[in-house]
């Protein structure tokens, strides 16, 4: 599904049309949603200089709607983890840097020691990605250690539920049964709150991927290498542990996978395309996999399928998943694994959806007097006094990467108004000119629920100072409950640190609708092993006094700016 206005969204850096007042409207058309999934065991390596080909940006047609990137064995040594929680981890940074110029925004990310899951989407899809939640399950050392396990992100995409599950299962040839037990454990333990789809398999579509560690049974090393050299992969498929398990393991019922037409992706000598020459001489295997699952809506055996095995699948409800490619990327040699990617299109039954908030803005802001945003709320939208509207430069990386913001202030008289208005003050506006969008951030939903098309700002350059937050201004929360937020002196977060039970959203916001830059950063606080530091001023400082809550375990702080959530609230996972 694409938004109809997608056809005329200006390219990055292009100028807006001539000035005219217009309402940014959205409609859903019945087109496929294109999803690009990547899994890679990076073996504690630093990111390569260029991941363009891995992302398909060198050959892409620009129609990819979402990127899902699952990594395993991200460096989690204590010194590296402490650095990662203070600043952006290197892998998240390189992905954001590469994707943001193409209009992709980090929707959510989840980290559990070496496991990292990132979800990116085109910025104009953000209002239609709702109910974002993340979960983690540790299976290492009997469930006490997160070197093995699964991290997931679930959401509603245009009204249809999708779950992405990144796993790292036990290694070694003899542990096939243990791998199945761990996978079953992950499915049982991962439960989502406040959603119709409470378990992983309750979602309309599930994508399961990662270093699943299944090996090739029975055949010796020379036979396997000879089959690889002669491109005789089918004889290896028959001995692949995961393929064999599909015939006997109930938990795998309904999971599908495309044909493995690429060479096994493990194990290579680092820096080469040569299979293991060490003393252990591990047998090559397809350890890195991407599978999918459609929720059963018809009696067993009634599901429809067409085409080659694993290429097209559908249910009687009309949901279809089509796999366009399934491949490895041999050019990357920083790890002993090769990355694997797959591109899918998801076609859902027609479902009309409109944004919860429609923003109205001029096509150009030529003076501070033009810096006005009007908005209309859908009848079913639950508004909060802590909602805010962010001003983003086109090409922003995540939902906290704003140039400025104003509170979506709620007065008593607003309850009877159909249209509301906010004004950006001079200090909230950028210096010079450029293309920007506005995004309405919902405090209750922890996500952007309305965006505009790009518009142009052309302001006098004298006396204005730009203070844009950057992507290094968020942290991946440490799996061992250490949370450290890099302090900021110029761009405090608009969100607050509070429990909702202590604040009524029906009250008028106690502070000005624009933030103050004069406040000094708050000092980090220490409570046991939990360390939370955030720079707060103006409204944020006022809200800080209301709570001592912290972000959800293992998640970064992009969607929910620092100190806003506690563990019991629905969290976007970022």
Which of 415, 438, 457 represents a domain boundary (last residue)?
Answer: 457
Residue-level pLDDT at 350:
66
Residue-level pLDDT at 57:
93
Asked whether residue 46 falls in the same domain as residue 160, the answer is yes
Task: Determine the number of helices (DSSP H) and then strands (DSSP E) in the chain.
Answer: 8, 28
User: Which of 533, 543, 494 shows the shortest CA–CA distance to 515?
Assistant: 494
How buried is residue 298: exposed, middle or buried, by Cβ count under 10 Å (0-12/13-18/19+)? exposed
Asked whether residue 119 falls in the same domain as residue 99, the answer is yes
Asked whether residue 415 falls in the same domain as residue 386, the answer is yes
* Side-chain half-sphere exposure of 545, counting CA atoms within 13 A: 6
User: Which of 197, 165, 171, 160 shows the shortest CA–CA distance to 184?
Assistant: 165
| Cβ-Cβ contacts under 8 Å for 551 (sequence gap 6 or more) | 477, 483, 532, 557, 560, 562, 563, 564, 565, 571
Asked whether residue 362 falls in the same domain as residue 434, the answer is yes
In a domain, residue 155? The reply is yes
The distance of Cα 178 from the centroid of its chain, to the nearest Å, equals 29
User: 330 and 273 in contact (C-beta within 8 Å)?
Assistant: yes
Q: How far apart are CA 424 and CA 433, in angstroms?
A: 16
Q: How far apart are CA 149 and CA 168, in angstroms?
A: 5
Residue-level pLDDT at 513:
40
Give the strand order in the sheet containing 129-140. 129-140, 145-157, 160-168, 205-211, 288-294, 255-256
Read off the CATH number of the domain in which 42 is found. 3.60.10.10
User: 549 and 565 in contact (C-beta within 8 Å)?
Assistant: yes
In a domain, residue 249? The reply is yes
3-state secondary structure of 39: strand
Which of 397, 428, 457 represents a domain boundary (last residue)?
Answer: 457
In a domain, residue 19? The reply is no
Asked whether residue 118 falls in the same domain as residue 206, the answer is yes
Residue-level pLDDT at 86:
57
3-state secondary structure of 295: coil
In a domain, residue 428? The reply is yes
SS (H, E, C) 189-209: HCECCCCCCCEHHHCCEEEEE
Q: How far apart are CA 158 and CA 128, in angstroms?
A: 5
In a domain, residue 387? The reply is yes
Asked whether residue 206 falls in the same domain as residue 339, the answer is yes
Asked whether residue 340 falls in the same domain as residue 432, the answer is no
User: Which of 71, 37, 34, 33 shows the shortest CA–CA distance to 291?
Assistant: 37
What range defines the domain where residue 291 resides?
31-78+85-298+314-348
Asked whether residue 250 falls in the same domain as residue 215, the answer is yes
In a domain, residue 416? The reply is yes
Q: How far apart are CA 512 and CA 519, in angstroms?
A: 14
User: 108 and 77 in contact (C-beta within 8 Å)?
Assistant: no
Which of 428, 457, 486 represents a domain boundary (last residue)?
Answer: 457
SS (H, E, C) 134-190: EEEEEEEHHHCEEEEEEEEEEEEECCEEEEEEEEECCCCHHHHHHHHHHHHHHHHHC
The beta-carbon contacts of 377-380 under 8 Å, at least 24 apart in sequence, are 377/420, 378/354, 380/356
User: 155 and 445 in contact (C-beta within 8 Å)?
Assistant: no
| Cβ-Cβ contacts under 8 Å for 526 (sequence gap 6 or more) | none
Asked whether residue 47 falls in the same domain as residue 115, the answer is yes
Q: How far apart are CA 416 and CA 119, in angstroms?
A: 38
Per DSSP bridges, beta strands 160-168 and 205-211 are parallel
Interior CA angle at 570 toward 569 and 574, to 5°?
105
* Residue whose entry in the numeric block shows the structure tokens 């929680």: 85
Cis peptide before 543 (omega within 30 of 0): no
Structure tokens at 503: 């604040």
The helix (H) or strand (E) run that includes residue 531 is: strand 530-532
Q: How far apart are CA 250 and CA 542, in angstroms?
A: 53
Residue-level pLDDT at 415:
63
Residue-level pLDDT at 349:
79
The helix (H) or strand (E) run that includes residue 532 is: strand 530-532
Q: What is the DSSP letter of 101?
A: G
User: Which of 438, 522, 545, 537 shows the shortest CA–CA distance to 492?
Assistant: 537
Residue-level pLDDT at 362:
94
Asked whether residue 258 falls in the same domain as residue 335, the answer is yes
Read off the CATH number of the domain in which 430 is found. 2.60.40.2840
In a domain, residue 407? The reply is yes
Digit-by-digit pLDDT tens for the chain (574 residues) are 333 333 333 333 333 343 333 333 344 444 579 999 999 999 999 999 999 999 999 886 678 999 999 999 999 876 665 655 655 789 999 999 999 999 999 999 999 999 999 999 999 999 999 999 999 999 988 777 778 999 999 999 998 999 999 999 999 999 999 999 999 999 999 999 976 779 999 999 999 999 999 999 999 999 999 999 999 999 999 999 999 999 999 999 999 999 999 999 999 999 999 999 999 999 999 999 999 999 987 544 444 343 344 445 554 456 899 999 999 999 999 999 999 999 999 998 767 678 999 999 999 999 999 999 999 999 989 999 899 999 999 999 999 999 999 999 777 666 667 899 999 999 999 988 999 999 999 999 999 999 999 999 998 765 444 444 444 444 433 343 323 333 333 334 454 443 333 333 433 443 344 333 322 223 333 233 232 333 333 333 333 333 333 333 444 434 344 333 343 333 333 3
| 189 backbone dihedrals φ, ψ, rounded to 5° | -80, -25
In a domain, residue 202? The reply is yes
The structural domain count of the chain equals: 2
Asked whether residue 323 falls in the same domain as residue 376, the answer is no
* pTM (2 d.p.): 0.79
Q: How far apart are CA 381 and CA 397, in angstroms?
A: 26
* Cα first-last separation, the chain: 25
Q: How far apart are CA 481 and CA 85, in angstroms?
A: 11
The helix (H) or strand (E) run that includes residue 94 is: helix 90-99
| Cβ-Cβ contacts under 8 Å for 573 (sequence gap 6 or more) | 108, 109, 110, 132, 133, 134, 153, 552, 555, 559
How buried is residue 35: exposed, middle or buried, by Cβ count under 10 Å (0-12/13-18/19+)? buried
Asked whether residue 169 falls in the same domain as residue 230, the answer is yes
Residue-level pLDDT at 527:
31
Residue-level pLDDT at 494:
53
Residue-level pLDDT at 122:
97
């Amino acid at each position: 599904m694409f938004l109809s206005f997608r056809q005329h969204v200006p390219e990055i850096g292009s100028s807006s049309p001539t000035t005219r007042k217009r309402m940014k409207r959205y409609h859903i058309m019945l087109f496929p949603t294109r999803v690009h999934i990547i899994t890679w065991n990076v073996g504690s390596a630093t990111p390569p200089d260029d991941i363009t080909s891995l992302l398909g940006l060198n050959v892409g047609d620009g129609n990819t709607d979402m990127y899902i990137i699952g990594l395993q064995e991200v460096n989690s040594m204590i010194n590296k983890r402490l650095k990662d929680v203070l600043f952006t981890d290197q892998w998240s940074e390189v992905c954001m840097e590469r994707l943001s110029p193409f209009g992709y925004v980090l929707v959510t990310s989840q980290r559990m020691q070496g496991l990292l899951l990132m979800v990116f989407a085109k910025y104009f899809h953000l209002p239609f990605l709702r109910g974002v939640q993340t979960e983690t399950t540790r299976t290492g050392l009997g469930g006490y250690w997160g070197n093995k396990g699964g991290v997931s992100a679930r959401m509603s995409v245009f009204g249809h539920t999708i779950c992405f599950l990144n796993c790292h299962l036990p290694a070694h040839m003899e542990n096939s049964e243990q791998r199945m037990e761990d996978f079953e454990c992950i499915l049982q333990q991962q439960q989502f709150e406040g959603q119709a789809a409470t378990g992983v398999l309750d979602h309309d579509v599930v994508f399961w991927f990662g270093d699943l560690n299944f090996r090739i049974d029975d055949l010796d090393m020379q036979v396997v290498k000879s089959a690889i050299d002669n491109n005789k992969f089918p004889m290896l498929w028959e001995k692949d542990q995961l393929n064999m398990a599909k015939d006997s393991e109930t938990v795998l019922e309904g999971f599908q996978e495309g044909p493995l037409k690429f060479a096994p992706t493990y194990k290579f000598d680092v820096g080469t395309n040569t299979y293991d020459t060490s003393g252990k001489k591990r047998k090559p295997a397809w350890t890195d996999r991407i599978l999918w699952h459609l929720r059963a809506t018809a009696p067993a055996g009634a599901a429809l399928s067409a085409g080659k095995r694993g290429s097209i699948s559908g249910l009687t409800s009309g949901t279809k998943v089509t796999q366009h490619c399934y491949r490895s990327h041999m050019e990357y040699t920083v790890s002993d694994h090769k990355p694997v990617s797959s591109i899918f299109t998801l076609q859902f039954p027609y479902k009309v959806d409109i944004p919860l908030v429609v923003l109205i803005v001029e096509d150009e802001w030529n003076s501070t007097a033009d810096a006005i945003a009007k908005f209309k709320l859908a009848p079913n939208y639950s508004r909060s006094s802590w909602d805010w509207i962010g001003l983003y430069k086109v090409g922003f990386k995540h939902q906290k990467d704003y140039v400025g913001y104003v509170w979506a202030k709620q007065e008593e008289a607003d309850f009877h108004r159909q249209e509301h208005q906010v004004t950006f003050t001079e200090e909230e506006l950028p210096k010079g000119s450029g293309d920007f969008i506005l995004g309405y951030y919902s405090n209750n939903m922890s996500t952007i629920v309305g965006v505009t098309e790009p518009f142009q700002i052309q302001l006098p350059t004298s006396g204005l100072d730009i203070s844009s937050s950057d992507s290094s201004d968020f942290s991946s929360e440490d799996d061992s409950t250490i949370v450290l937020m890099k302090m900021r002196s110029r761009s405090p977060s608009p969100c607050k640190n509070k429990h909702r039970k202590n604040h009524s959203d029906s009250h008028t916001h106690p502070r000005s609708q624009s933030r103050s830059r004069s406040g000094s950063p708050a000092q980090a606080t220490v409570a046991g092993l939990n360390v939370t530091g955030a720079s707060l001023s103006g409204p944020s400082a006022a809200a800080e006094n209301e709570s001592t809550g912290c972000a959800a375990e293992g998640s970064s702080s992009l969607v929910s700016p620092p100190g806003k959530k506690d563990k019991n609230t629905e969290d976007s996972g970022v």
